[in-house]
Copies of this chain bind each other. A is one copy, B any other.
């Protein structure tokens, strides 16, 4: 890949300016008021793909937010890489904790600060620019397809149907995704596994209206107290999840594989210091990396009820709510888990309250075998640009659609992400180092080169 460094150097400010145009569109898929922003963002992507050199690009309808599709065919006998990314972003609250405006990207201390700077506008845009480089310098070695969806952060609900409907259009040899992190800037890694996800909305109702906590307190169930008890009961004293059958399908990892994983560099003291916690907390019998890599977990992502404003209102509320999620590991079926939890939690409610569980979204876990061609190509590409062999890691995060691609399209994905754990995706002050942004653009063309060569 001749002159890739020069090309980046000459165009670095333009790359950033273009990315900022994408970031400034507040494409928050979880909030319905941003419907128009989703369409604006999709159209902006189409514009950028055309400018980068695709033969054609389209904003295609789905059951929900539109999907951006683009392709360039140089020779049907050559392999095809399908680049997947998402143009939607997470909500931004709590706003007060942002040091910059979430949709006004700024470069401070060598990092881009904005919602979507990493996840996934920054990471997916690297692919547009790497592709542009290969086209403009006549070095594109294979065919390329792009697919950018607008619902990844809410579970990719419409993309499953879109894939079913467009199997022919989406035919490819591998799906290339940059939506994950590396261990560190000087410790490149490739994500060889992802956890699955299952998410529910829970509503607990006591009396039919808010009551005076003095007149009724002690005699009428408080839905917050009950919800807390029900949530507490979801874990036992060893940090195991108590839902009957929850672990039934979890594959036991061999001692050998655990020993291999333990070799990945990890400094627990630095981890605790970075998070400002005295101690880690999780399932007994597993290390921190195992707890997020190979074991499922259950977290309350949100809870609310009663008086949450200023001052001390004495109220016995009628309702309490929670958003509950589990991360699943390979072989756990998210639809089975979804049903399991709903039945268990609703049945666990005492007769003084009513409990309603609404399944939200979910997806299966995913594992990429280290023997597959795309893994080897990615490994070699990163070795080329980072000067080090990347380490395979299992991420605790989920990209449910990746398991969906395998199931529906029969195509494996390679998760060559360039983010960092400190990028604070999904949180206030999301950021993405310029180093990683440009290093990604530099590395991607080598993946195309090696993947094409190895596929022969």
Contact = CB atoms under 8 A, between A and B. Distances in A.
Interface of A: 29-32, 90-91, 93-94, 97, 153-155, 181, 195, 197, 199, 201, 206-222, 224-229, 231-233, 235, 275-283, 288-289, 291-292, 295-317, 320-323, 325, 327, 350-354, 360-361, 395-398, 421, 424-429
Contacts of A227: 228
Contacts of A360: 312
Given A210-B424, A228-B232, A277-B353, 15 more contacts: A208-B277, A210-B426, A214-B292, A221-B279, A225-B235, A226-B281, A232-B233, A300-B305, A302-B317, A303-B303, A304-B305, A308-B321, A313-B323, A313-B426, A314-B325
Nearest to A119: B212
Contacts of A31: 309-311
B300 A224 contact: yes
Nearest to A350: B281
A30 B232 contact: no
Contacts of A321: 308
Contact of A228 (B221, B282, B300, B395): B300
Contacts of A231: 224-225, 228-229, 232
A306 B327 contact: no
A264 to B, nearest CB: 14
A350 to B, nearest CB: 7
A306 B93 CA distance: 9
Contact of A225 (B300, B398, B428): B300
The 6 closest A-B pairs by CB, nearest first: A30-B311, A218-B297, A214-B397, A281-B352, A302-B306, A221-B281
Contacts of A395: 214-215
A56 B52 CA distance: 83
Contact of A309 (B91, B195, B396): B91
B320 A303 contact: yes
A427 B209 contact: yes
Contacts of A276: 207-208
A90 B397 CA distance: 43
A327 B214 contact: yes
A397 B352 contact: no
B279 A301 contact: no
B217 A292 contact: yes
B280 A219 contact: yes
Contacts of A297: 217-219
A437 B398 CA distance: 61
Given A215-B292, A301-B306, A307-B91, A197 B232 contact: no
Contact of A429 (B32, B209, B226): B209
Contacts of A216: 275, 292, 396
A311 B91 contact: yes
A417 B282 CA distance: 53
A219 B292 contact: yes
A154 B312 CA distance: 6
Given A280-B220, A327-B217, A352-B281, A212 B311 contact: no
Contacts of A312: 30, 154-155, 199, 201, 301, 323, 325, 360-361
A303 B228 contact: yes
A244 to B, nearest CB: 19
A218 B291 contact: yes
B350 A219 contact: no
Contacts of A396: 214-219
B208 A283 contact: no
Given A312-B301, A313-B426, A307 B323 contact: yes
A204 to B, nearest CB: 11
A295 B215 contact: no
Contacts of A209: 97, 424, 427-429
